[in-house]
């Protein structure tokens, strides 16, 4: 296993609060009730405490408001990359970058509602190839 000190952080980000647009709008319309305010606050905290990090060898995901969960994915396991932009996210220049992987615990990894998804997708693709070459990993599709 590679030492963490040899890795270079290439990109760090968080999901955009625009993913909560519908929830916030509904909470605003029903703000005379107390519960929607707590729902909106919880959604804001949940998105605000999600962090993505792309390094030269791995992708890290940290989530959780009170308890934290850390997940990591080796870049050489990425098999395919897809960009999904809903209408609202496209309006603000954000989108989801979905990675299909060969990882057993994380077969699909999503960078949710990140700004400039195309640039992130290109960076992931470039470093996936570099990791595969450095580790001598080849992908075979068995049908």
pLDDT confidence of 37, banded at 50, 70, 90?
confident
Q: Average model confidence (pLDDT) for the chain?
A: 90
Instruction: Tell me the two tokens of residue 74.
Output: 């080796």
Instruction: Kindly indicate the confidence band of residue 139, based on its pLDDT and cuts at 50, 70 and 90.
Output: confident
What residue has token string 């996936």? 128
Note the pLDDT of residue 1. 44
Which tokens is 102 given? 């060969």
Residue 81 · residue 55 · CB < 8 Å: no
pLDDT tens sequence across 17-34: 999 888 888 887 787 677
Question: Tell me, which fold does domain 7-134 have in CATH?
Answer: PH-domain like (2.30.29)
Residue 2 confidence (pLDDT) above 50: no
Distance (Å) of CA 36 to CA 3, 9, 30, 31: 45, 38, 7, 6
Tokens 């296993």 correspond to what residue? Answer: 1
Q: What ranges do the domains of the chain cover?
A: 7-134
Q: Which string of DSSP letters, residue by residue, matches 19-47?
A: GGHHHHHHHHHTTTSSHHHHHHHHHHHHH
% of the chain exceeding 70 in pLDDT: 93
Q: Is the pLDDT of residue 114 over 90?
A: yes
């Amino acid at each position: 296993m590679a030492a963490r000190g040899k890795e270079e952080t290439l990109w760090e980000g968080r999901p955009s609060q625009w993913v909560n647009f519908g929830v916030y709008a509904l909470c605003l319309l029903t703000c005379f009730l107390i519960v929607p305010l707590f729902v909106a606050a919880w959604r804001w905290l949940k998105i605000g405490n999600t962090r993505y990090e792309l390094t030269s060898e791995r992708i890290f995901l940290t989530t959780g408001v009170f308890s934290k969960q850390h997940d990591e994915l080796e870049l050489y396991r990425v098999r395919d990359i897809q960009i999904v932009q809903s209408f609202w996210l496209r309006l603000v220049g954000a989108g989801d970058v979905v990675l299909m992987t060969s990882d057993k615990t994380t077969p699909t990894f999503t960078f949710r509602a990140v700004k400039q998804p195309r640039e992130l997708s290109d960076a992931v693709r470039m470093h996936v190839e570099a990791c595969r070459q450095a580790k001598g990993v080849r992908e075979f599709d068995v049908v």
